[in-house]
Amino acid sequence: MQRHIKIAPAIIAFSLRKSTMFLLLVVVLCKPLLGLDDFSVRQSIIIINPLSFNRTNEIIAVERNVLDKVSSHLFPSIKKNNDILVTQLIDKNGNGTWDVLLVEVSLAANSTDTLQLHWIKKEAQVQQLNLTNVRLSLRSGNNIPSPEIYTTKRSRGFTQNIAQPYYQMEGPGLENDKVAFRAFFDSRNGKDIYGKIVDTPVLDTVGVGASWHNLQPWGMDILKVGNSLGAGALAVEENEKIYRLADADTTVFQSLYEGALQAGFQLRFKNWDVGTGRQNGSETMSVSKGDFYYKNDIAVSLGANQNLVAGIAHFGTDSLVYKKHNAVFSSISVYGKQAEGTMTHLGLAIMFCTTDYVANKTADTASVIPNTAYVALKPVDNKKKFIYFFACWENTDDRFKTQQGFEDYLQTTAGLLANPIQIKIIPNNLL
């Protein structure tokens, strides 16, 4: 699961006699950077589970700047005892150099464990299976996918013929081993869900030679969106009116990263329609292995009379449920036989910071944004906010055959997000 990780301050201590200092100077002169002995332990990473239950296959993030400085041709490899753990390097600032190390870990209840960090050469890295994926391409006229697009932009007013869209999935897609999402890269700026029944990446070929509205070997489109806010699309509430956060003078798509553990892309808006005004802003969507949700980091400046709105398609009679899970996270959710085209159970939810909550409402067919259940969130001074959007389909996981199973998953996830695995980095000189 994707987590907010607490990085404890590194512990530094020095106790060197003159002879030791001389020896250290010799080593520095001969080896100005660590890494000539590739498989020696260079640092230890201590991980701590503060909760009273086991945590399996969770993802922690370690910032590059808390690790030893090594030659740029060396890369981190993480071991627990003799087992090599699944990792992924992420370049978040786009400068061509990784700055975050992701590691998949498991921890027993109320326990502490130690991981060993080794620096190795690129050719010694273990090949890992990519289970997350970002995909944008033009619609193919045959059964062969068009080349992938990593960055592009559109202008205000751009629309698509839904029957024959300009883009393969009407916009960029994002997936992990559990679920896939897509964003409409046009004036709607909507979001939709692909339910998956396989755990491998599928978006490269979705919509190529077959309709996603019919059940395919990989799954299908399971959400009726219409003119609603669909799968977590955004709006602004201003003076008791709702305005869709949709079009902008220019919108830029940028694929950020993908790999064994996490994938993400960004949409940047210039002169975004924000209520009755216009602002620059962005959405950064990401998914992590094993999760039934995406995270959306939203950057936009809102006025004191404006609230951020995130919505869920709500065409049925299923009741909207608001729940405060803990002091950190709350959610709104709907559950029922609402998976489009199958009449199977689908649980949908938006999770948000408890302190951001203003109200939850439903909009009927006569509303400006119809058939939508939504939550209104407070504007904040730092202009940034995040939400998690959940799509839990019974055909993917038997837990979601019942509402209780769906609600238990939300509650457990809220607890994990509020109590992340803690990390302590032990510097090389203390090993």
Query: Residue 430 has what pLDDT?
Result: 52
Predicted confidence (pLDDT) per residue in 393-417, tens digit:
999 999 999 999 999 999 999 999 9
Give yes or no for residue 12 having a pLDDT over 90: no
Give yes or no: residues 42 and 170 share one domain: no
* 1 inside domain: no
Kindly state whether residues 40 and 167 are assigned to the same domain: no
Burial class (CB in 10 A: 0-12, 13-18, 19+), 7: middle
Are 350 and 392 in a shared domain? yes
Question: Does 287 share its domain with 385?
Answer: yes
Q: The whole model's pTM is what?
A: 0.90
Q: Do the domain assignments include residue 406?
A: no
**If you average pLDDT over every residue of the chain, what do you get?**
89
Q: Tell me: do 190 and 71 sit in the same domain.
A: no
Q: Clarify whether residues 65 and 22 are in a common domain.
A: yes
Q: Does any domain span residue 413?
A: no
- My answer on whether 189 and 110 are in the same domain is no
Euclidean distance between CA atoms 13 and 431, whole angstroms: 11
Closest by CA to 267, choosing from 228, 297, 288, 227, is: 297
In a domain, 261, yes or no: yes
Give 363's pLDDT tier (boundaries 50, 70, 90).
confident
In terms of domains, do 143 and 117 share one? no
pLDDT tens sequence across 282-325 = 999 999 999 999 999 999 999 999 999 999 999 977 889 999 99
| pLDDT tens per residue, range 87-112 | 999 998 888 899 999 999 999 999 99
Percentage of the chain exceeding pLDDT 70: 88
Mean local confidence (pLDDT), 368-389: 89
Residue 11 has pLDDT above 50, yes or no: no
Q: Which of 2-6, 123-127, 156-160 has the highest mean pLDDT?
A: 156-160
d(CA 54, CA 109): 4
**Given a cut of 70, is residue 385 above it in pLDDT?**
yes
Number of structural domains, the chain? 2
Q: 247, 189 in Cβ contact below 8 A?
A: yes
223's CB contacts (< 8 A; 6+ apart) are 192, 193, 230, 231, 313, 339, 340, 346, 348, 391
The CATH number of whichever domain residue 32 belongs to comes to 2.60.40.1180
Give the domain range for residue 213.
Answer: 133-396
Task: Answer whether residue 263 shows pLDDT above 90.
Answer: yes
pLDDT at 37: 45
- Inter-residue contact 419 to 52 (CB < 8 Å): no
Query: What pLDDT, on a 0 to 100 scale, did the predictor assign at position 92?
Result: 86
* 216 and 73 belong to one structural domain: no
Residues 110 and 157 in one domain: no
Residue 208 lies in a domain: yes
Q: Residue 417 falls within a domain, yes or no?
A: no
Instruction: Classify residue 318: in a domain, yes or no.
Output: yes
Q: Give the strands of the sheet with 100-107, arranged side by side.
A: 55-63, 100-107, 87-90
At 143, which CATH number? Answer: 2.70.98
Same domain membership, residue 343 and residue 238: yes
Whether 414 is in a domain gets the answer no
Whether the Cβ atoms of residue 333 and residue 410 lie closer than 8 Å to each other: yes
Same domain, yes or no: 140 and 244:
yes
